[in-house]
Structures are given as C-alpha cells and as structure tokens.
Amino acid sequence: MNADNKILVIGGGMSGLTAALEAAEAGSQVIITEAGPYLGGRVAQLHRYFPKLCPPTCGLEINFRRIKENPNISFYTMAEVTQVSGSAGNFDVTIKVQPRYVNDRCVACHACAEACTQWRVNDFNYGLDKTKAAYLPYDMAFPQQYVIDKSACSGDCGQKCLEACAYDAIELHMTPQTLNFNVGAVIMASGWELYDATKMDNLGFGVVANVITNMQMERLAASNGPTGGQILRPSDQQVPKKVAFVQCAGSRDENHLPYCSYICCMASLKQATYVREKAPEAEVYIFYIDIRTPGRYEQFYWKVRDDENVHLIRGKVAKITQEPGTDNVVVVAENTATGDKQSMVFDMVVLAAGMVPSTKASPFPLPLSYTPDGFVIQDLLPPGVYAVGTLKGPLDVTKSVQDGTGAALKSLIALGRRS
Amino acid sequence: MEIEKKFGVYLCKGCGIAEAINFESLHKVIKKSGKIQHIKEADILCSPEGRALILEDLKPEGEGINCIVVAACSPRVKYEEFDFPNVLVERCNIREQVAWTQEPNNEHTQALAEDYLRMACARIKKAEMPEPYQSECDKTILVIGGGTAGLSAALQAANNGYQVVLVEKEAQLGGFAARMYRQTPSSYPYTTLQEPVVFKMIQEVQNHPKIKVMTAATLEKLDGQPGLFDADITVGGDMETLRVGSVVLAAGWKPYDATKLVNLGYGLSKDVITNIEMEEMAKAGKIVRPSDGKAPESVAFIQCAGSRDPDHLPYCSDFCCTASLKQALYVRESNPNAIAYILYKDIRTPGQTELFYKQVQSDPGVMLTKAEIAEVALGEGGKLRIHATDTLLGANVIFEADLVVLATGMVPATADEAVLNLGYRQGPNLPDLELFSGFADSNFICFPYETRRTGIFAAGCVHQPMNMALATEDGVGAACKAIQAAEHVAAGMAVSPRAWDITFPDPFMQRCTSCKRCTEECPFGAIEEDEKGTPFFKINRCRRCATCMGACPERIVSFKDFSVDQIGSMLKSLDVPEIEDEDDPLAPLRVIGLVCENDAYPALDAAGLHKLRLNPMIRFISLRCLGSFNMVWVSDAFSRGVDGIILLGCKHGDDYQCHFAKGSELCEYRMSKLSETLDKLGLESDRVIQYQIGHSDFDLLPKLIDDFVARVREIGPNPFKEL
C-alpha cells in the first residue's frame, strides 16, 4: 500500500464516518468532506435508535473520539466535492469549502448568538423552531463550533457578533476555499433526504397544522429538541393523546417512491413507544400495508404490538384533512382486511415519510449510472469509486455500517493499484 | 528508561472561568496540596498565544516540562490544541464542571474548583507515559465457512494482501448459494432472476495464491488470542494446527427443521416440501409433485413456516418472502398454466426488493394474499387443502393445491453447535448467543461487528438473518475488521472501542491470590489461568475496559495512565471541611461522582453547555467504564470524610448500552456486595448509589444529583469526617 495514497470519503454521516474510521484504523490516510456544519449526519437528529431505544449520540461519541485520536483522518465540514477526474489509484478531486464565518478559535461560549439579532429556520429541528443567525448546530455538535448563516444576516448586523466575541473567532469576510487533493479511492456516503411530504396532496402536510413527519417526531421527542423532549402538537403546544402513524407516506407508491424505504415501519413502532412513554394514557394507531420488521427486529414489533394502547390497522390512508372547527386531524383509511372506508379523528398525525438518496437531487461530479429514483447502481460504478449505505438502496443504520465497513476494505484494495 | 517527570499547571481564564473562580487561591492550592510549583495562566489557553506559552515550557532546553495539567475546558473539546507529543496531559475541566454549571464566586464554587485541581495534580502524578505492548503476531485471516459471506471475506482479505485460510465443513465450497437454481435480482431494475454468482467466486478463491482452501474440514479448537490464534483443523482424520491472526466466522445457517411444522402438513404428504427442496428440484430441471411425478397445476407457498413464531423461530428470516416470489416464477416458467399462491402474514421486500415484488405481482398467474394458516390437510384427488383464516378474500378460505411449499426460515449454525470451539476458560461459544436467538450478532447498532470475543467477526447468516447480496457485503466488512484487528495487535494497540489505546493491564502478580474474580468477570474472556490456577492475561484479547482492575480485591491491576491507586490518590487529595452545623442546608457535604467517560461524562458536558446548575457538593471523576470501579475507592473516599458516592454508568440488561458489554452491570453487582462492607464500617448503604445515565440525558442530571445530595444530607454527615 502506498502510504501517501489517500481515501476520500464524501459524507460525514454514520456510513461515511464508519467507512473513514475503518479505513483509517486499517492504516490508510482518509479525508472526510461533509456538506453540513457538523459530523454525524442524519443519526444525530434521532432521539433513539430502534430496537434498543438507545441514544445515537452514544455511538457518535465513540466515533468522534476515534477521529480525535487518529492522526490519519482529516475532515472538512461545509465542504462539497465539485470535481473528480482520473481513475482508481489516482483521482484528482476538488473540494469547495463554504465559509463558516467562525474560525477554530471558537470556544462555543454562545456570546455571538446572544448578540445576534436575526433568526433563521432551524433545519436541524426540521423547521420546528428557529435559531439565531449565529448558532451552534446542536448541543453535541462535533466540531463544537458555531456557524453564521449569512443569508439570515441583515445589513451590517454582523458587527454585533464580531464585537461580542472575545476570542477573535468571527471572520465576517471569510470566503469560499478551494482545495485540491490526489486520492486513490473515493467512497460516496452522502446519505439520504426525507421525501418532501408536501408532494402528497392527500396527506395534508403543510396544510393541516398537526400533521408532522417522522423526522419531526424524532426532534419533538429529543431532550435537545425544540420542545425539550416533550411531544407537543404544533398548533397549540398541547400533548396529543391520540396519535396516528401513516405508513408508506410516499413509499411503495408509483406516483412517489416505488420502493420501500426500509426503516419506516421500525421507526413508527419506535415512535409509538415515545408517545406512550411520555403520555401513558395516549393511544396510538398505526395504518400500514405490510409491517416490515426484518430479522430480529420482529421481537421489537411484538413488544410494541402487545401494548394495549397501540392499535395496528392494516389499511392505506386515502386522505387527511383538518377537522372543521378544531385543531384535530381527520384520517380516512381503507381497511384492506374488511374493505371498509374508515374515518377517524386524531390529535396529531405522523407521516412515515420515505427516504430519497441524496444523489437524486445532487448527482456525483463524475458520470455514474443511477436508477430512475436516484440510487447509485453499484455494479456499474467505475473502479475505485464506492457507494455506501442508503445511496445504493434504503437501509437501516446497522446495515449501513456493515456496508461502510466493507467499502473501507474495498477502497484499501483500490489504493494498491497504484504500486 | 525512566524519564524524570516535570510538572506544570496551565490555567485558562477564558470562557467565564476567571469570572467564576479566584485564581490567587487556586495557585496556593496547586502549590500546597497539588505540590506542583510551576503554574502559568493565559487569557485564552487554547489560542495560539496560549499554546505558545505551554510549548515554550515544554522545550527540553528550557523548563523541560513533560507532564501538564490543563485547567480549562472539557477534554472532549480543544483536543488538538492540547495535544502535545510525548507529553502527559491531564485535562482538568473547570469550564463545563465549574464555570458553566455553578454560581460564580462563592465559597462552594471556589472549593469545587480547588478540589478539581487537587485531583488533577494527584492524577497526573500517578500516570506514566504509555508504551505499546509488543508481541509476535501473525496476520493470517482464518475464514470459517465457504458460503457467499465466507468466500467474499476470503477474496477481499486476500486481495488486500493477507494470507487467508478458508475452512469449509462440506466437501464443496459455495454453501446454499451453490444449491440455488437462480438468485433473486440484486441490482436495478430488480426484475429478472440471475444466474448464481457464487461459482465465479469459488473459482477465484480456488485460484487465489494467498488463499489456502480446506474443504471437508472441521475446526476442532480455536486457542490463543488475536495475532496468535492456534486453529486445530481436521481434514479426513488428520489434524493440523495453523497459526492465524484473526477470524471471520461465516459458518452460515441451516433450514428450520420442517418436521416440527406438523400443522403445515410436512410429513403428511410427500407433496408438502420446503423451499430448499423446491430450489433443488428447480435446479435439477423439473418441478413435479414428489408423490406422482406430475407437473403441479397449482402450488401454494406458505410464508413464515416457523419464522415469526414464538413457538419456533422468534424472528423473521428475512430471505423467505423474496425466495418464494422467485420460486413462484420457477413454477410459472416450468408450467405457464400453473398458478402460484403466496400466503403471507406480511410481504417483506424491504428497500428496492419492492420492485421485484411488484414485478412478480404483475404476473396474473401469481396470486398473493395475506393469510394465517390454520392447517394443511389432505384433500381429494391427491390435492392438499389449506385452511386459511383472516385473508384478503374472506375470513375463512380453503385453497387447494397440488404442491405446498413451506417457506422455512433460517437457523444460524451457532444456534446449537459450538462452531468456534474456543479454548477459553469462559467457554467454547460466543457469549450472548441466547440474547440474539442463536445468531453470532453484536448488541451494538453502531458497531455491528463487535462481539465479546476480540478478533472474531461474524458475517452472513450466522451473523444476522439476511439475503445473499447482503451476506456478500457483510463478508467484506468482517474481513476489514479482521484485518484491522491483526494490524492493531501488531502495533500493540487495542481494537474498538478504544482503538487508539496503547495502554494495557499490567498486573503485579506477586500479590495475586488467585481468587479468579478477574477471570470470571472479564467481558472478553481475556484472562486465563495456568495449571496452578494462577490467572494470566492474554493481552491481545483485552479491550482495555479495566474491568479486571475493578474486580481485583488486591488492587494489583494497573494501566500506565489508569490505576486503583491513581483514583484512590485523587480521592485522598480532596479537601473535606468539617461540618459545624448539620442543619445548615448549605453545610459543605462532599459527594463523589464516578462516571463513565463515554456517556455520563458527555451528558455532564451538555449540562454545562446548556448552562444548567449542578449541585456544588459533587466532584466528578471519569472512569473508562464503571466496570473499573474498585470497591476500595469506597473505603478511600469514606475514610477521607466523603459523605456519599454516586456512580453514573450505562444502561444494562438485554439492551445493554455499555460498550464493554458488562461494565455497568458488574459495577451494580459489586454494589450489591457493598452493603456488608459499609455495615461493618457502621455506614448507611444508601450513601452509595448507581444510576443508569444515557448520553442524551443531560436534562435529568441536575435533579438526580440534587436528590442524592439531599438524601445524603438526610442521612447526615460521614461520622469519620472528624477522625
């Protein structure tokens, strides 16, 4: 193996971190680029993992420690790969790093955010609240370093945070940086986006106030989320006592996502436990086509199913509307077991929205073959380029990690091609 | 070679620290109690200017300081700024744990900061520069099982330059994959069945110069440790012992025994067969009824035959839905007039396999319905009658079919055989198998290859229920972990989760009483015993959790930077004031918090970041794992006059979160023995308590700690305080 030969990992989420760490601990040099301002990706936004109901930040803590202790890994946040040329063993890559406007002298003291006068929609919390334009992405963010969202700044308000910072950490004139690297292998690990729930006209998202997505539910349940971990419905901040989960919201639907998104059944079963834990008298209804809890997940399914306040209804939801005169939500579903159309009223509805590969919206800067849904076709990837986790098809965290570990070894082998 | 240790303390005034603490009296404490005279301050210690201050002192020609206490922020941040090669660094967290969680400038806050400095000085004085454990090491990868997962592991490891030994118990390589007629599609557009790819892999493996293939071979025993495993392998009665570095366990699965499925008609009629028998028939070229050799006009597939059933297999076998969809196509291909029924509980075609499901569904000769199967019985004219309930066609439906295929599930090889035959004191099997219904799985979502036997990584269907495409990828992942394990052992480093750690347990054996607590408690089976019953360490199995250090009543196990004596010295260094008025609600009690560094400690940091107030009476000490908790610390603390001890560790039980699997549980076990000790001392047992705290539980900490301090206050001050 050529010691100078590096691996580029695109994406600092769970599968990217895994691929990077496994390759680095097997002896390779690794560069990670992450489009967002922190590492950890989607899992950092989850309240708990299924089926153990453990906090995802626990595993991230270990992975961040592994990064901190490993001189073979360097990473760039707010960075995108704009150009790739060459072939296995010898790729030239160009990385564009967007300005953070806060340098690494930042100590996360919060003074800039306190001084800041402007607000921005909090994307970490899926729009459920706002942060200042100078903000820390979330409490456990790694690196623990603030960011300034210039698009939310107004006039020369930046002076206020500049003056508030006692650490010379604010650099309002920071410009995008372009970096060039030569690497032997590229691992694509840019993960997934949640399917845009407003595209499903019949399901009321964006129109009916108390219809939320499954990822919003994660943030509502999290103690570092917008409600401090209380599950409150958006319209009136009341605790919902009757909650419906709508499975396959977009998935398994030719008009939206023809595939199954793999995680949504387990996610909704898991979220049913959030609702039940936080409001013991609450009732949960799950509308589904098939319950898909593969492998040993079955036992988690049994556990939730056996809760007498959890009701599983086999049926496809046809329409969701606001109940006239209240904040409640009307769900019309066809019970496929009985054929009846059923109309029920809920305090809040959670859409089990599906998974869209990030390559659907932003293809990789090398000509690759994709499915019509934007997934990378592994068999047609050029040598030296690997795709991991949800870029190839919907997967859960564990299987993405297994895949990322395998990709690490394949890329190590590709490095050998140079010699 | 012993280098003289020269100490320095560096105090940061930034982030509100100087506003909360009086530095002048801090200096006095460091000099008098900490016994370190070299002290410097910086406005912002992590800034380039602050670092320059430290770097100047580190110069050998100057002060030559080589052991530094950085009294600033949490060790979890600014790690690069305070990383100095060949220098021992002790981070003293007076930002998150003092300035950000306490009221500024009162006596309690000051006392807290001073105690943290005393403990940091004590800690660094008892630390040594670690040097890696070096041993001879073989990097050969042993792969057990020659199915898809094993073949792919062997190939990728060999392609990366490692020697591989592949052991297969059958005479031929390929496992179930080689017995298949067709494979379900694993690539876009997921519509056409594929020729099995396994034969190409077999050929590559057999021709690979770095792979030694042993078929009809059995692993009789696996002894030793990573880097130095000895595998006793027999082929045709001859035994050979091979030295290997690490292991990929890809022993595969067998079909669930269909004779146990009496109600589904297996054994009742020859025309009730399993999905494996169907596969073999298709591969042989003709699908017929075994009873009369005629081509069936109707075939019913019964899903979840054994799977998803608490009386049989308490899990979903993952592959059976797609396998039946595939076999329905065999039926249609073999006889275009035939009808295939698939009777399922739920169709499980996760991910893009859904596209294959849609494809099969569009065939008018394939009929799918949800159904619970009450019974399969003999019908008229040699047909089979399937009594189904709860179907999409009605509550009670009878299907008649010429042939019934039971979609039997998978049983991992490890479920009832000691495949590894480990020569470990703790037993021949992987621990925790029961927890995973017999699979050689991991309990860690983020670290799916981590088991409790270091250097052994499971892949494929012995690991988790999975399909062939995933098993192929899983083999590569396991091979990667196996390579890493061998490389880390060679470098004298631990493997995950402390993959960077070069310290190792170094017991002072002269004082060992052979009580065997360490050998029993080590979560990783790293401690064996010799003929005389004296324990000895297989260091390469060790994951550096220090559970042995906690277990040892003689306190003889130490790491260079972590020892019983070190924590004991920290406890003894505390200033414990006398309590003049017991009824004063602010009387200075002293409570110690021993906390897991991976979860509880970050939660405390988060409490700091959220600027939550923490009780000023508590002083936290981070431990590698609560498994390292040694009961002598309780005596150390109470004899020093400490009033209470709180332990914050990870969740244990079936869904354990402890990354050393057993650490927090063993700590709780030790706690159960503690009341005797405390009773003897005349101390109340509820002065010591353990809580399970998750990484994200920062919001629970203030109340939890306040409540405990209040409880200690109720009990009253430690009577030994005055002595």
ipTM score assigned to the predicted complex: 0.97
- A143 occurs within a structural domain: yes
With an 8 Å Cβ cutoff, is B497 touching chain A? yes
Q: How many other β-carbons are positioned within 10 Å of the β-carbon of residue B395? A: 10
For B647-676, how does the pLDDT look when each residue is reduced to its tens digit (9 = 90+)?
999 999 999 999 999 999 999 999 988 888
What part of A 328-357 touches B (C-beta under 8 Å)? 336-337
In A, minimum Cα distance to B17 occurs at A109
Hey, CA dihedral for A204, A208, A211, A212, is it positive or negative? positive
Task: Report chain B residues whose CB lies below 8 A from the CB of A62.
Answer: 446-447, 496-497, 598, 659
Question: Closest by alpha carbon to B541, among B659, B433, B452?
Answer: B452
- A342 occurs within a structural domain: yes
Task: Report chain A residues whose CB lies below 8 A from the CB of B473.
Answer: 402-403, 406
For B402-455, how does the pLDDT look when each residue is reduced to its tens digit (9 = 90+)?
999 999 999 999 999 889 999 999 999 999 999 999 999 999 999 999 999 999
Indicate whether A1 pLDDT > 50.
no
Spell out the CATH class of B1-129.
alpha beta
Residue B712 has which token pair? 């200690």
What part of B 569-608 touches A (C-beta under 8 Å)? 598-599, 602, 606
How far, in Å, are A336, B370, B375, B388 from residue B393 at the CA level?
A: 10, 9, 17, 10
Question: So where are chain B's domains?
Answer: 1-129, 141-254+412-491, 257-408
Q: Vertex A387, ends B482 and A374: CA angle to 5°? A: 155
| Strands laid side by side in the A329-335 sheet | A211-213, A348-353, A242-249, A283-288, A310-322, A329-335, A341-346
- A169 occurs within a structural domain: no
End-of-domain residue from the set A353, A378, A397: A353
With an 8 Å Cβ cutoff, is B479 touching chain A? yes
Is the CB of B487 less than 8 angstroms away from the CB of A406? no
- How far is the alpha carbon of A258 from chain B, nearest alpha carbon, in Å? 7
Residues 6 or more apart whose CB falls under 8 angstroms from that of B682 comprise B719
Q: What is the 3-state secondary structure (H, E, C) of B150-161?
A: HHHHHHHHHHCC
How far, in Å, are A6, A93, B447 from residue A28 at the CA level?
A: 7, 18, 20
Query: Once rounded to an integer, what is the mean pLDDT over residues A83-102?
Result: 96
Contact A315, A334 (CB under 8 A): yes
DSSP 8-state code for residue B699: G
How far, in Å, are A193, A200, A217 from residue A353 at the CA level?
A: 10, 10, 11
Q: How many other β-carbons are positioned within 10 Å of the β-carbon of residue B400? A: 15
Is the CB of B606 less than 8 angstroms away from the CB of A139? yes
Do both A125 and A189 map to the same domain? no
Rounded to whole angstroms, how far apart are CA atoms B459 and B143? 10
For residue A2, what pLDDT is reported? 45
DSSP 8-state code for residue A257: B
With an 8 Å Cβ cutoff, is B469 touching chain A? no
- Sheet strands (E) in B51-87: 67-72
Rounded to whole angstroms, how far apart are CA atoms A80 and A186? 13
Of residues B443, B695, B699, nearest to A58 (C-beta):
B695
Is the CB of B497 less than 8 angstroms away from the CB of A62? yes
Contact B682, B675 (CB under 8 A): no
State in Å, rounded, how far the first CA of chain A is from the last one: 7
pTM of the model: 0.97
Q: How many other β-carbons are positioned within 10 Å of the β-carbon of residue A261? A: 31
With an 8 Å Cβ cutoff, is B424 touching chain A? no
Q: How far does Cα B717 stand from its chain's mean position?
A: 40
With an 8 Å Cβ cutoff, is A365 touching chain B? no
Hey, CA dihedral for B330, B333, B339, B342, is it positive or negative? positive
Hey, CA dihedral for A103, A109, A115, A117, is it positive or negative? positive
Contact A167, A106 (CB under 8 A): yes
For residue B634, what pLDDT is reported? 95
Which one of A49, A167, A260, A301 would you mutate to disrupt binding with B, by most B Cβ within 10 Å of its Cβ?
A260
Question: Closest by alpha carbon to B555, among B513, B521, B594, B522?
Answer: B513
Query: Once rounded to an integer, what is the mean pLDDT over residues B549-578?
Result: 97
With an 8 Å Cβ cutoff, is B655 touching chain A? yes
Do both A204 and A289 map to the same domain? yes
Task: Report chain A residues whose CB lies below 8 A from the CB of B499.
Answer: 21, 25, 66, 69-70
Options 3.30.1330.10, 3.40.50.720, 2.60.40.10, 3.50.50.60; which CATH number does B141-254+412-491 get? 3.50.50.60
B339-344 and B456-458 strand pairing: unpaired
End-of-domain residue from the set A318, A334, A353: A353
For residue B680, what pLDDT is reported? 82
Query: Once rounded to an integer, what is the mean pLDDT over residues A224-250?
Result: 98
Is the CB of A14 less than 8 angstroms away from the CB of B446? yes
Query: Once rounded to an integer, what is the mean pLDDT over residues A10-34?
Result: 97
Do both A185 and A52 map to the same domain? yes
Q: Vertex A114, ends A109 and A115: CA angle to 5°? A: 115
With an 8 Å Cβ cutoff, is B503 touching chain A? no
With an 8 Å Cβ cutoff, is A383 touching chain B? no
Range of the domain at A29: 6-98+176-193+356-418
Do both A291 and A317 map to the same domain? yes
With an 8 Å Cβ cutoff, is B444 touching chain A? yes
Question: Closest by alpha carbon to A25, among B584, B176, B484, B264?
Answer: B484
* Range scoring the smallest mean pLDDT among A1-5, A101-105, A300-304, B561-565: A1-5
**Radius of gyration of chain B measured on its C-alpha atoms:** 32
What part of B 21-40 touches A (C-beta under 8 Å)? none
E strand or H helix at A26: none
Domains identified in chain A, total number? 3
Do both A134 and A252 map to the same domain? no
| Strands laid side by side in the A185-188 sheet | A73-76, A29-33, A6-10, A185-188, A385-387
Mean pLDDT across chain A, nearest whole number?
95
Q: What backbone torsions phi and psi does residue B528 show, to the nearest 5 degrees?
A: -105, -175
Task: Report chain B residues whose CB lies below 8 A from the CB of A393.
Answer: 351-352
In A, minimum Cα distance to B50 occurs at A105
For B368-400, how does the pLDDT look when each residue is reduced to its tens digit (9 = 90+)?
999 999 999 999 999 999 999 988 788 899 999
With an 8 Å Cβ cutoff, is B82 touching chain A? no
What part of A 239-298 touches B (C-beta under 8 Å)? 252, 258-262, 290-298
What part of A 179-208 touches B (C-beta under 8 Å)? none
B67-72 and B410-412 strand pairing: unpaired
Contact A351, A212 (CB under 8 A): yes
Is the CB of A58 less than 8 angstroms away from the CB of B606? no
Q: Which residue has the tokens 């880390």?
A: B488
Do both A367 and A382 map to the same domain? yes
Percent of residues in chain B assigned helix, strand, coil, to nearest 5 = 35, 20, 45
Indicate whether A289 pLDDT > 70.
yes
Mean pLDDT across chain B, nearest whole number?
96
Q: What backbone torsions phi and psi does residue A103 show, to the nearest 5 degrees?
A: -95, -175
Residue B75 has which token pair? 């060790």
For residue A419, what pLDDT is reported? 34
- A269 occurs within a structural domain: yes
Contact B163, B210 (CB under 8 A): yes
Rounded to whole angstroms, how far apart are CA atoms B608 and A139? 10
Indicate whether B39 pLDDT > 80.
yes
- A61 occurs within a structural domain: yes
How far, in Å, are A268, A339, B153, B388, B392 from residue A342 at the CA level?
A: 21, 9, 52, 25, 17
Residues 6 or more apart whose CB falls under 8 angstroms from that of B707 comprise none
Of residues A109, A258, A293, nearest to B354 (C-beta):
A258
Is the CB of A259 less than 8 angstroms away from the CB of B354? yes
Question: Closest by alpha carbon to B210, among B251, B143, B157?
Answer: B157
Do both A376 and A227 map to the same domain? no
DSSP 8-state code for residue A251: B
Confidence band for B2, pLDDT divided at 50, 70 and 90: low
For residue B722, what pLDDT is reported? 64
Which one of A21, A39, A54, A227 would you mutate to disrupt binding with B, by most B Cβ within 10 Å of its Cβ?
A54
Do both A265 and A317 map to the same domain? yes
Rounded to whole angstroms, how far apart are CA atoms B97 and B605? 7
End-of-domain residue from the set A302, A318, A353: A353
Q: Which residue has the tokens 């394990």?
A: B485
With an 8 Å Cβ cutoff, is B395 touching chain A? no
In A, minimum Cα distance to B450 occurs at A402
Q: What backbone torsions phi and psi does residue B138 show, to the nearest 5 degrees?
A: -105, 140
How far, in Å, are B18, B20, B33, B46 from residue B14 at the CA level?
A: 6, 10, 24, 9
Which one of B159, B354, B397 would you mutate to disrupt binding with A, by most A Cβ within 10 Å of its Cβ?
B354
Do both A189 and A210 map to the same domain? no
Rounded to whole angstroms, how far apart are CA atoms B109 and B613? 11
Confidence band for B1, pLDDT divided at 50, 70 and 90: low
- How far is the alpha carbon of B122 from chain A, nearest alpha carbon, in Å? 24
Rounded to whole angstroms, how far apart are CA atoms B264 and B258? 9
What part of A 113-142 touches B (C-beta under 8 Å)? 139-140
Do both A207 and A278 map to the same domain? yes
Is the CB of A66 less than 8 angstroms away from the CB of B499? yes
DSSP bridge pairs for A102: A170
Indicate whether A3 pLDDT > 50.
no
In B, minimum Cα distance to A19 occurs at B477
Do both A269 and A318 map to the same domain? yes
Q: Which residue has the tokens 């055989």?
A: B417
DSSP 8-state code for residue B371: -
With an 8 Å Cβ cutoff, is A60 touching chain B? yes
| Three-class DSSP category at A283 | strand
Task: Report chain A residues whose CB lies below 8 A from the CB of B443.
Answer: 52
Question: Closest by alpha carbon to B554, among B521, B509, B621, B503?
Answer: B509
Asked if the domains at B141-254+412-491 and B257-408 fall in one CATH topology, the answer is yes
Do both A248 and A303 map to the same domain? yes
With an 8 Å Cβ cutoff, is B694 touching chain A? yes
DSSP bridge pairs for A177: A97
One-character DSSP codes across B11-57: EE-TTTHHHHS-HHHHHHHHHHTS----EEEESSTTSHHHHHHHHHH
- Which superfamily does CATH assign the domain made up of B257-408 to? FAD/NAD(P)-binding domain (3.50.50.60)
* Range scoring the smallest mean pLDDT among A155-159, B151-155, B296-300, B426-430: A155-159
Indicate whether B201 pLDDT > 60.
yes
Task: Report chain B residues whose CB lies below 8 A from the CB of A228.
Answer: 699
Q: In CATH, what number is assigned to the domain containing residue A251?
A: 3.50.50.60
Of residues A58, A108, A416, nearest to B657 (C-beta):
A58
Is the CB of B477 less than 8 angstroms away from the CB of A402? yes
Is the CB of B470 less than 8 angstroms away from the CB of A399? yes
- How far is the alpha carbon of A156 from chain B, nearest alpha carbon, in Å? 26
DSSP 8-state code for residue B95: I
